[in-house]
């Protein structure tokens, strides 16, 4: 059997796919904006799938969060939501460290806190904060250079949903 001497093309990573999609939906955005939108979208996928279930309320919460991004039109939000829906596991197991590092390095403290609130709200959207979700959220907060107090303040809005307390 003969093999080609050329290497097969490298598989496209989930992060690359998401980045290309976001770039196509925000063609006039600068690199820093694109980097932040990619980081937030990637973390939304990670948190939504932390309990290995991507519920309808989580899908709706992601959609509403993406609709708040300036310049991202509803059809762009639909495209991103479709891609996440079709392959959430692949996006959720992408490079979370890249997303948190991007936010840590390029987002002001107040924006990082706002993003943490968004992530906690997403995790609680299905009516329950599981141990896997709270663990991921704690690690995400630390990776974004937020404090334990930042995390506790964000989670306090959803104490009634903590699975460990039920």
As a whole number of Å, the CA-based R_g of the chain is 17
Closest to 38 (Cα-Cα) out of 84, 102, 81: 102
Per-residue pLDDT, 103: 97
Residue 163 confidence (pLDDT): 64
Tell if the pTM clears 0.75, that is, is over it. Answer: yes
What tens digit of pLDDT does each residue of 50-74 get? 999 999 999 999 999 999 999 999 9
**Burial class (CB within 10 angstroms; exposed 0-12, middle 13-18, buried 19+) of 13:** middle
51 DSSP 8-state letter: T
The tens digit of pLDDT for each residue in 3-61 reads: 444 544 444 566 688 999 999 999 999 999 999 999 999 999 999 999 999 999 999 99
> Whose CA is closest to 117, among 88, 145, 137, 135?
137
Where do the domains of the chain lie, and which CATH numbers do they carry? 14-165 (1.10.3680)
């Amino acid at each position: 059997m003969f093999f080609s001497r050329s290497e097969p093309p490298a598989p496209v990573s989930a992060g690359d796919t998401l980045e290309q999609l976001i770039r196509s939906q925000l063609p006039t955005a600068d690199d820093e904006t694109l980097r932040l939108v990619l980081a937030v979208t990637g973390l939304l996928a990670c948190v939504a799938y932390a309990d290995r279930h991507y519920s309808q309320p989580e899908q709706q919460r992601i959609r509403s969060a993406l609709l708040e991004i300036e310049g991202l039109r509803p059809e762009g939000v639909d495209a991103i939501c479709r891609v996440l829906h079709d392959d959430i596991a692949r996006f959720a197991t992408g490079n979370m460290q890249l997303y948190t590092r991007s936010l840590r390095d390029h987002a002001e403290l107040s924006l990082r806190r706002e993003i943490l609130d968004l992530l906690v709200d997403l995790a609680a959207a299905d009516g329950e904060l599981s141990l896997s979700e709270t663990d991921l959220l704690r690690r995400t907060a630390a990776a974004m250079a937020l404090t334990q107090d930042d995390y506790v303040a964000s989670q306090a809005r959803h104490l009634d949903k903590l699975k460990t307390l039920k």
